[in-house]
Structure 1
Amino acid sequence: MPIQNGHEIEQLSKVSYDLEEATRDARNSADIEVIKELQQQLREVQEQIQDARGKAINGSGTSTEPLFNAQLRVEECQHELKRVVTNLEAFEDNVTP
C-alpha cells in the first residue's frame, strides 16, 4: 500500500535526525552497551526507511528525497558507531593484562 501522505516520511526523517544526535552522544559516552543498543535502533529504523521508500516508489507520488537523506544519515551513524566499537574493543584489548 503506497504512502498516502508525507506523515510517515516526516516521522522517519525526524527519527533519523534524533538518532544522529544520539550517535554523537553515544560516541562521547564511550559506553559500548549504549552504542550496541543504538546500533539495533539504527537497524530497525533503516528497515522502516527502506520499507517506506518502497511504498513511495510504488506510486504515491510522494518525494522520496527526505527518505533517501534519512537513510544516508542512518547509514553514516551505523558506520560511525562501528568505528567507535572497533576502537573501544581495541583499547580494551590493549588495557587488559
Structure 2
Amino acid sequence: MPLHSQRKLPLNATRTAYRTLQGWALGTLIEQGAVSECEHHGHRSDRADPDAWNRAREEAWRTAFPGATPEACMAALEEIRFSIGESCPDCRSD
C-alpha cells in the first residue's frame, strides 16, 4: 500500500458550477467572449461583439440553466447585457 494515497474526485460533480440564473448568464457571456473583465478593477464590460452575443444566445438556447426554460435563459442574458456598460467606470475616472 502506497504511503501517499490520493483521493480521487468524482467525475460528475453533484452541484452545478453556477448557483443562480444570473451567475450562469454572466458565465456564459464571458465564456463566449461577449463580456470581458477589467484587469485593474474587475468590472465587467460589453465587448460590443455581435458574433459573441449570438454565440452566447445559441449556447443559452441549447444548454439552458438547470431548472430554467430557454426563454428564461435568454431573458437573463438580455438583463445582463443592459446592466453593464461598454467600459470600466473606474478606468474612466483615473
TMscore range, shorter length:
0.3 to 0.5
What TM-score do you get using the length of structure 2 for normalisation? 0.34
TM-score normalised by the chain length of structure 1:
0.33
Q: Quick check: which has more Rg, 1 or 2?
A: 2
Higher strand share: 2
Q: Which has the higher helix share?
A: 1
Question: Relative CO higher for 1 or 2, CA cutoff 8 Å, sep ≥ 6?
Answer: 1
